[in-house]
Structure 1
C-alpha cells in the first residue's frame, strides 16, 4: 500500500512541478519500486521490452513520413484541389481547411503535423478573406485533430498494442467518427463565416478547375489510396505501410514536386527524430507505470469503483468520456491511452462494450484534450504558426471544443458509427 501512495503522490508532484510527462512517469515508477522493495532494474527491463514490438516501429516511420510530406509540397496541392470545390462558398476557405486536414491526416498519422502543414498555408489565406486571425488558427487547430482520428493514426496503433486489439480494425473504425466530426465542424465554420462577414474567393465552381487541380494533386491524393488500400487489402501490414509512406513521400517530394531538397532533408530528419524520440520515451515509462498499476492491483480496485457507479454500459461510457475530457486537459494523448486503456477496457468488456468502439472513445476524448490548455499541443502549434498568444486562442477555441464535444457525445452513444466499416 505504501508503494501505491508513493506512486500516486510522486506522479502528482512531478506533474505539478511541470516536469515532462515521460520523466514524471519514470521518477514516480523508480520511487515506487524503491518503496516497494522491487529491484530498480524492473524499469530498465520493461522499457526495453516495451519497444521490442514490430507494430511500434510504425510510429517513428509515420512521424517521418508526415514531416517529409509537410516539406515536400503535398499539403499545398491538396489545399488547391479542395478549394476548387469550396471556393465559391462564403465559408469556402474554412471548409477547405477542414477537408484538407482530413486528406492530409490520411497520410501523416499525426495531429500536430497536420496542423503545421495545413495551418501554415491556410491561416494567412483565411485571415486575408476576413476571418479573425484567432478564428483561422482555431479552425486549423481543430481540423488538425483529424490527424489522429482518420487512419493511419499513431494513437490508434498505441491503443491496439496496449489492449491486444487489431490495428486494422481500429483504422477501419476511424472513418465513421471522422465523418461525423467533419460534418459538425463544417456546420460550425459555416455559421462563424456568416457571423464574421467572411468574403468568398470570388470564383465560381468550375469543373475544369477541379480537373486541373486534381491532376496537379494526383500524387498527393494517391498517397492515402496506396497506404490505406494496401492495409485493408492485406497486401502489407500497418508497419510496412508506414515504411512505404516514408519512401513514397520522399520520392514525391524530392523528384516529382521537387520541393524537398537535400539541403532541407537534415532538418526534416532532426525534427522527426526528436518527435519520435519523445513519443518512444513516453511509451517506455508509461508501459512501466501501467505494469505497476497491474502489479499493485490498482486496476481491480478502480474497476470495482467504476462498476459501483453503475452497471449500465452506456452510463459508464458517458462517465469515462467525461473523465477523459478532464484528464486530457493536463495529460498527453499517448500517455492517456497507454496508462488508462489497459485499466478501463477489462472493466467494460464483460458489460458488452466493443473494444474497437471504446478505442475510438479514448482516441477522440484524448484528442479533444489537444485543444485545451495547459497541454493543448494543437493550440501551441497553431499559436506558433499564427503568431498569436495562447491566451487569445484559449477564448477563440471554445466554440470548436464545444462542437467537438457534441460530436463526441453522438459517437459515444451510437457505437454503430465506430463499427460502421468494421467486419
Structure 2
C-alpha cells in the first residue's frame, strides 16, 4: 500500500480512536497527507471552502429549522390523531398508527432521531398503557422511524447530493417515496400479524364530531410537505428555496395559527439550530478535502479491485457493499458516513451499473437500519430510554422487523424501477 494512503487512513483512524472530533480528524489527516505528497496546503483549504460554496448546501440549515420548529410545535400529536382516523380501529391499530404517523412526520422532520424523540415520547408510553409489550412498542417506533431518512424532505439526502457532486435533490427526494411507503406498508402488515398473535387491543376510535378539526389541524402541518415537494416538482422552487419558504410557513403556523410556540421558544430553536449547523459545516468542509485526497490517491479503484479479487459476480459485490454500509451504520453517525463513504463507493457502484440516484436511496436505507442496530443504534437507544428498558430486551422482537427492512433494502438494491420509476416519470 502506498505510504500516502497509510498516512491518510492511518492518521484518521488513530485520531478517531483517540476520541478526536471527526471533523478535526479528517482535517488533520488531510493536512498530514498533503504535506507528505508535497501538495500546497492552500489547495487543501480551497477544497474545504469549495465544499461549502454550493447553493444546495443552503437548504441544510432551512431543513434543520423546519424539523426543529415542527418537532416543538405539537405537530406530531395532530398527525397521530390524523393517522388514527384511518387505521385506529383495527386490531393492533395503535401500532399501525405509530407507523403511519412516522411516515407522515418523517416526511416533515426528515430525521429518524427526531421521529423517535417526538412521536415515540407520545406513543411508546401510550402503547404501554394500552397493554402492548415494552419491547414491541420500542421496535415499532424505532424501525418505522427509518422512513424519515428516505421519505423527503431529508437532510441526509442533501448530504448525499453534495457528496455525490451535486446530484438533483428533487430526483433524490422523489426516489425515496416508493421505498419509504413500501416499508411503511410492510411494517403495518407485520404489526397486524404480531398484534393478532399477541392479542393486542384495537386502537382509538375518534368521535365523528372531532373529525373535521383533526383533519384541518393535521392538514395545515402536512401542507409543509406539499410546499417542499410540490414546489420542487412543479418547478416553482429549487430545493433550497422550498426549504426557505417552508421555514416561513411553519413559523407562521406555530406562532399565529397553532399558537404553540412563543418568540422566546423560536429564539431557543434558532440557537439550537446554530449549534447543529456549525458542526455540520465543519464536517462538510473537512470531508471535501478528505474526499479529494481519496480520489487523488485512487482509493475507490483500489477498493473495487480488492472486491473484484473476491468475486466478479455483480450480485455478490452489491451484497458486500450493503454489508459494508450496514456495518458502518451500526458504529458511526449517519451524516458523517454519507460524506465520507459516498466518494469511495459511488464510483464503484456506477461501474457495476447502478444509477447514482438508486444508490443514494440504498445507502439511506442501509444507514437507517444501522440507526436501529447495536452497538450504537441512536434511534434504538432513544426508544429504549423512553420505554425505560434495556436494548438487550428488544433484540428478539426486532428480528422480524429486520427481515422486513431487509426485504425493502433488497428491492431497492436489485430493482432499479423501485426507486427510479417516479423520478423518471415526473422529471
Q: Give me the TM-score of the superposition, normalised by structure 2.
A: 0.91
Asked if the contact 1:57/1:239 (under 8 Å) is kept, the reply is yes
Q: Within 5 Å, which residues of 2 pair with 1:303-382?
A: 303-382=304-383
Note closer, same or farther for the CA distance 1:94–1:280 as it changes in structure 2 (3 Å cut).
farther
Q: Within 5 Å, which residues of 2 pair with 1:237-256?
A: 237-256=238-257
Aligned to 2:76: 75
Deviates more, 1:120-129 or 1:261-270: 261-270
Aligned to 1:401: 402
Deviates more, 1:243-252 or 1:210-219: 210-219
Q: Does 1:8 align with 2:9?
A: yes
Return the alpha-carbon distance in structure 2 between the equivalents of residues 63 and 72 of structure 1.
14
CA RMSD of aligned residues (A): 2.3
Q: Does 1:276 align with 2:277?
A: yes
Q: Within 5 Å, which residues of 2 pair with 1:92-131?
A: 92-131=93-132
Note closer, same or farther for the CA distance 1:391–1:267 as it changes in structure 2 (3 Å cut).
farther
Asked if the contact 1:134/1:392 (under 8 Å) is kept, the reply is yes
Q: Shift of residue 79 of structure 1?
A: 0.7
Asked if the contact 2:94/2:204 (under 8 Å) is kept, the reply is no
Return the alpha-carbon distance in structure 2 between the equivalents of residues 36 and 395 of structure 1.
50
Aligned to 1:169: 171
Q: Shift of residue 230 of structure 1?
A: 0.6
Return the alpha-carbon distance in structure 1 between the equivalents of residues 32 and 201 of structure 2.
58
Q: Shift of residue 59 of structure 1?
A: 1.1
Asked if the contact 2:23/2:286 (under 8 Å) is kept, the reply is yes
Asked if the contact 1:310/1:316 (under 8 Å) is kept, the reply is yes
Note closer, same or farther for the CA distance 1:60–1:201 as it changes in structure 2 (3 Å cut).
same
Note closer, same or farther for the CA distance 1:67–1:46 as it changes in structure 2 (3 Å cut).
same
**Equivalent position SS for 2:61:** helix
Return the alpha-carbon distance in structure 2 between the equivalents of residues 290 and 119 of structure 1.
36
Return the alpha-carbon distance in structure 1 between the equivalents of residues 398 and 255 of structure 2.
36
Which structure 1 segments of 5+ residues have no match?
none
Deviates more, 1:38-47 or 1:328-337: 38-47
Q: Give me the TM-score of the superposition, normalised by structure 1.
A: 0.92
Asked if the contact 2:103/2:144 (under 8 Å) is kept, the reply is yes
Q: Shift of residue 219 of structure 1?
A: 0.5
Return the alpha-carbon distance in structure 1 between the equivalents of residues 148 and 48 of structure 2.
27
Return the alpha-carbon distance in structure 2 between the equivalents of residues 397 and 271 of structure 1.
33
Return the alpha-carbon distance in structure 2 between the equivalents of residues 239 and 208 of structure 1.
40
Return the alpha-carbon distance in structure 2 between the equivalents of residues 134 and 23 of structure 1.
38
Q: Shift of residue 148 of structure 1?
A: 1.3
Asked if the contact 1:47/1:284 (under 8 Å) is kept, the reply is yes
Asked if the contact 1:106/1:152 (under 8 Å) is kept, the reply is yes
Aligned to 2:45: 44
Deviates more, 1:170-179 or 1:137-146: 137-146
Aligned to 1:140: 141
Aligned to 2:183: 181
Asked if the contact 2:254/2:261 (under 8 Å) is kept, the reply is yes
Note closer, same or farther for the CA distance 1:345–1:126 as it changes in structure 2 (3 Å cut).
same
Deviates more, 1:343-352 or 1:153-162: 343-352
Note closer, same or farther for the CA distance 1:202–1:247 as it changes in structure 2 (3 Å cut).
closer
Asked if the contact 1:105/1:147 (under 8 Å) is kept, the reply is yes
Which structure 2 segments of 5+ residues have no match?
none
**Equivalent position SS for 1:379:** helix
Return the alpha-carbon distance in structure 1 between the equivalents of residues 84 and 254 of structure 2.
21
Return the alpha-carbon distance in structure 1 between the equivalents of residues 17 and 192 of structure 2.
40
Note closer, same or farther for the CA distance 1:310–1:107 as it changes in structure 2 (3 Å cut).
same
